[in-house]
Amino acid sequence: MSITNLITLLGGLGLFLFGMKVMGDGLEKAAGNKMHKIIETMTSNIFRSVLVGAVVTTLVQSSSAATVMVVGFVNAGIMRLTQAVGVIMGANIGTTVTAQLLRLGDIDKGAWYLVMLKPKTLAPLAVAIGVAFLLFAKRKKLNTLGEILTGFGMLFVGMATMEGAVYALRDLPQFKEAFVACSHPVVGVLVGAGVTALIQSSSASVGILQAVASTGLVTFSSAVPIILGQNIGTCITALLSSVGANKNAKKAAFIHLMFNTMGTIVFLVGIYSYQGFIGFSFWDNAMNRGGIADFHTIFNISNAVLLMPFAGILVKMAHVVVKGKEENKGQHNLDERFLSTPAVAVSQAVKEVVRMGTMAQQNVLLSMESIIHKNTASNAKILEQEDMIDIMESDITKYLVKLSGHPLNKEENKVVSGLFHVITDIERIGDHAVNLSEYSTYIVKEDIEFSSLAKRELSIIFNAVKEIVALTIKAYEEQDIEAAKRIQPCEDIVDLLKETLRMRHIDRLSQQKCNSKAGVIFLDIINNLERIADHCSNIGIAVEQLNSARMELDPHMYLKHLHQNKPEEYEQLYAQYREKYKI
């Protein structure tokens, strides 16, 4: 093999892998939020999990990437091992799509529409249209379609380049001997596993085999063990990703290895037993791209169907090999394994922010209850959760910085940019909740007693803040635009309540109807409540910005525009809240 052939082969492989990545990225962007919604449909139903695994792998164009995601979900406590088994089985099925696309190279002649599907015609056309969409189209959907088409075309260009490089080897005796050696089941499995582990992609490994098949030297006897070995080699990525993860993640990676290894052993025994006693008439015939793709697909579907009833046994085996019970330490959505699939990473970051917001909401409610009932029993929990909120803010920020370094589509970039601001507002809400808890401690320690009128006023503003915080969490978690639109009118009522209560309390102080200690603490409480509402307003604006392409990015400009124009919907909501929280 000349140095020129080697360089051409490596270049073709590079184009093939890059095309597969570009196409996968485009498909993932096209799926967008559907990606995490697909994954969230996972249940204990093994059939649905298999389907989810197949769909996700088709979208990301890599069973290795899909399995790494599974390891991440298990490590994060989002998915249980019983669910992971089904997804892993489905991932093996989804990875066969690439090989089925590459079989188009077998089209020789036929109707004009079949000739159009030949890679020599289709690949340049796909690249031309794809690049045109990428360079000149202004619509996001066309840009994404351009990315998919460009990747699709490059996939075949890389394939053709590899075929050209290996074709020169067909007459070399050593090359022929190599494939004769691969017909030995152990040698073939080791070669397939080794090549796949090296490039960490069974789709690419099968694609290389399909390219070599163009020489006519790949027989059924040599291709079968190589393909079976490729399914073992693809497990290396998940195994590497489980290093440093918890025991559950290691068990998920082991299940992937065990599932593929058991399937390979069963097929080897079955195929070679039949060949030994009866014999396949086509065993020494050349295998084309379509034959390779079909065997790859049949093996993975059959393997899933065969081992699906034994999913529970696979989990038990994982428990035996990786010692320790399945951990369940609560959900932690941030896992760096998700960064390779930005759509999933973004959705997980949003979940973690919602979790952080829920903790801040709990602290606000606990601190208000503490003041109302003069009971500081919950203050320790408030401080504990505040520490967690601070840690989460730091962790989420670091995660978002890393996520920003990955290719994000316009929508994902918008979400990530908004998250940076939202976590700051949530952290500040948590701080004000702690302030309120400290006031309750002071009230108890100094035995401060508010007048019945002051208590009634506090209960009214408490209820208003309670509602605005609940609206905020609901609006952000569900991206509920209607809930978001109710936040600003409610916040304006809280502002009005604060000013009204402040003037009334100052009046009571001047008339000596209230002692100075109670007066000062009362004003501090309503100031903190008003600040909580302000931060809720910021989050509400973020939700509206996220759901509207025409929104001003500056929250201050948005509020100025809202208060100057006061839409009818705002006026109606403001009137409702004013009546609801009337003093």
Tens digit of each residue's pLDDT (9 = 90 or more) over 343-397: 788 888 998 999 999 999 999 999 999 998 888 889 999 999 999 999 999 999 9
* Candidate CATH numbers 1.10.150.20, 3.40.50.1100, 1.20.58.220, 1.20.120.1200; the one for domain 340-580: 1.20.58.220
Instruction: Give the pLDDT confidence of 249-295 residue by residue, as tens digits.
Output: 888 888 889 999 999 999 999 999 999 899 898 898 989 888 999 99
Please, what sign has the CA dihedral across residues 136, 140, 143, 145? negative
Q: pLDDT grade, residue 69 (50/70/90)?
A: confident
Joined tokens for residue 82: 């019983």
Backbone angles phi, psi at 335, to 5 degrees: -145, 130
CA 87/CA 82 separation, integer angstroms: 9
Task: Output the average pLDDT for the chain.
Answer: 84
242: closest CA among 76, 436, 103?
76
**Whether the Cβ atoms of residue 36 and residue 171 lie closer than 8 Å to each other:** no
> What pLDDT is stored for residue 227 in this prediction?
92
Q: Say how far apart CA 502 and CA 115 lie, in whole Å.
A: 81
The CA-based dihedral angle spanning residues 405, 407, 412, 416, taken in that order and rounded to the nearest 10 degrees: 0
Contact status, residue 255 vs residue 323, Cβ threshold 8 Å: no
What pLDDT shows up at residue 401?
A: 92
Render pLDDT for 557-574 as a digit per residue (tens, 0 to 9): 777 767 677 788 889 998
* 553: pLDDT strictly greater than 60: no
**DSSP string for residues in 511-549:** TTSS-HHHHHHHHHHHHHHHHHHHHHHHHHHHHHHHT-T
486-529 pLDDT, tens digit each: 999 999 999 999 999 888 878 877 776 667 777 788 899 999 99
Taking residues 300-328, report their average pLDDT: 82
User: Per-residue pLDDT tens for 198-229?
Assistant: 877 788 888 888 888 888 888 899 999 999 99
**Helices marked H in 374-409 — which ranges?**
379-404
- Residue reference for tokens 């006897």: 221
* Residue 329 scores a pLDDT above 60: no
* Cα(413)–Cα(418) distance, integer angstroms: 9
CB burial string 265-274: b at 16+ within 10 A, e below: ebbbeebeee
Give the residue extent of every domain in the chain. Answer: 3-321, 340-580
Helix (H, G, I), strand (E, B) or coil at 137: coil
- Average pLDDT for 535-554: 77
Range with the poorest average pLDDT among 63-72, 198-207, 418-427: 63-72
Range 324-337 average pLDDT = 63
Residues 313/41, Cβ–Cβ less than 8 Å: no
Q: For position 410, what pLDDT does the model report?
A: 77
The reported pTM is 0.73
Closest among 390, 422, 432, 437 to 527, alpha carbons compared: 432
Q: How far apart are CA 583 and CA 579, in angstroms?
A: 9
Query: Residue 168 — very low, low, confident or very high, per pLDDT cuts 50/70/90?
Result: low
The tens digit of pLDDT for each residue in 111-124 reads 555 556 666 777 88
Beta bridge partners of 219: 286
Least confident of 23-37, 134-148, 314-328: 23-37
Distance between CA atoms of residues 485 and 541, nearest Å: 8
